[in-house]
């Protein structure tokens, strides 16, 4: 398998069974995402987005089919190996930030490095500081999470997802809790990071945000409905302009 495939799934399925009832959350998903891609995964609730994200994020294992992350065959890994893979190859961004409360930005950002067992980071504080600068919070390093706005908190979370230099950044409704302006800022930050070569997969149900990505995968009932490149990608400027248009009539 070529190494520039960050994600490769082969006939991936996930079945939940509670008693007699079997729920087919995902059925024969075949996705290949290459290094440097920026993919939006969309779909209605119950379409299997979250299940897919859990498997892509190595938090869950497929019922059948294979999943390769950055060349590693995930199916074969045990719990500890999965934890190590998450630590090494994935940067998570959550809808509700999931930052540690009453903790400074830099401590939050440094959290993945605490669980690094490879010893590849010689100066955690410096690396965390750099990650915060990358998301434009260089002047908020020692602010505690409760002293930051929602948008700023999400950017701290993004810095945390960057700090371990992952192969894949996984965003689960990162803009779900933010206002439109902050959402556009976060989406724009994704674009900037992608421009620097980061591979990003984001789950969203907001079409405006999905429009920032390069490629969109649409799920329905556990199947891939469409998988196509986005033609008219939004930029920060165009999105802000659209925002004004929608606001003006009122």
Partner 1 sequence: MKQLIKTFKVAFQALGKNRTRSLLTVLGIIIGVAAVIITISAGEGATKQIQDQISGLGTNLVMIYTKTEHRGGSHVRMGKPINERDLDILQKNAVWMSKISPLVVVGVQAIGPKGYKSSAIYGVSHEYFEILNREIYMGNSFREEDVKSSRKVCVIGETIREKLFLDTDPVGRQIRINKIPFTVVGLLKEEGKGTMGQDQDDMIIAPYTTVQNRMYGYQGGYEMILASALSENHIVNAKNEGLELLRESHKILEGEENDFDITTQVELQEITGNITGILTILLGAIASISLLVGGIGIMNIMLVSVTERTREIGTRLAIGARESDILTQFLIEAVVLSFVGGAIGVLLGIIGNQVIYKLTNFHIPTVGYSILIGFGFAVIVGVVFGFFPARKAAKLNPIDALRYE
The span from the CA of 168 to the CA of 118, in Å, is 18
Question: What's the closest the beta carbon of residue 91 comes to partner 1, in angstroms?
Answer: 8
**Exposure letters 236-247 (e unless 16+ CB within 10 A, then b):** eeebeeeeeeee
Contact with partner 1 (CB under 8 A): which of 9, 27, 47, 87? Answer: 87
| Site track for partner 1 across 29-58, x = CB under 8 A | -------------------------x--x-
Q: Does 231 interact with partner 1 (rule: CB under 8 A)?
A: no
Interface with partner 1 (CB under 8 A), residue total 30
Nearer residue to partner 1 within complex by CB, 57 or 222: 57
Adjacent-strand bridge partners of 218: 42, 226
Q: Is 214 helix (H, G, I), strand (E, B) or coil?
A: coil
Q: Under 8 Å CB-to-CB from 23, ≥6 apart: which residues?
A: 15, 16, 17
Contact with partner 1 (CB under 8 A): which of 2, 21, 102, 231? Answer: 102
Contact with partner 1 (CB under 8 A): which of 94, 188, 208, 243? Answer: 94
Token readout for 37 is 């891609």
Nearer residue to partner 1 within complex by CB, 79 or 231: 79
Question: What's the closest the beta carbon of residue 10 comes to partner 1, in angstroms?
Answer: 23
Q: Is 208 exposed, middle or buried (0-12, 13-18, 19+ CB in 10 A)?
A: middle
Closest to 92 measured CA to CA, from 170, 177, 196: 170
Q: Which residues bind partner 1 (CB under 8 A)?
A: 54, 57, 59-60, 79-80, 83-84, 86-88, 92, 94, 96, 98-103, 107, 111-112, 114-117, 119, 160, 164
């Amino acid at each position: 398998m070529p190494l520039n495939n960050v994600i490769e799934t082969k006939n991936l399925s996930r079945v939940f069974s509670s008693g007699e009832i079997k729920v087919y959350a995902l059925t024969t998903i075949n996705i290949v995402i290459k290094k440097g891609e920026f993919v939006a995964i969309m779909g209605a609730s119950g379409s299997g987005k979250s299940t897919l994200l859990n498997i892509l994020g190595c938090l869950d294992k497929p019922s059948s089919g294979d999943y390769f992350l950055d060349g590693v065959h995930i199916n074969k890994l045990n719990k500890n190996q999965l934890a190590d893979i998450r630590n090494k190859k994935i940067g998570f961004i959550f809808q509700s930030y999931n930052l540690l409360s009453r903790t400074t930005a830099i401590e939050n950002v440094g959290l993945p490095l605490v669980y690094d067992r490879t010893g590849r980071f010689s100066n955690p504080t410096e690396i965390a500081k750099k990650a915060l600068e990358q998301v434009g919070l260089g002047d908020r390093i020692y602010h505690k999470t409760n002293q930051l706005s929602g948008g700023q908190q999400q950017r701290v979370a993004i810095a945390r997802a960057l700090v371990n230099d992952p192969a894949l950044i996984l965003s689960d409704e990162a803009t779900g809790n933010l206002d439109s302006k902050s959402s556009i800022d976060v989406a724009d930050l994704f674009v900037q990071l992608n421009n620097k070569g980061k591979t990003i997969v984001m789950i969203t149900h907001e079409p405006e945000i999905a429009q920032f990505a390069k490629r969109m995968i649409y799920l329905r009932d556990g199947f891939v409905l469409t998988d196509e490149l986005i033609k008219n990608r939004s930029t920060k400027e165009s999105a802000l302009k659209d925002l004004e248009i929608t606001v003006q009539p009122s």
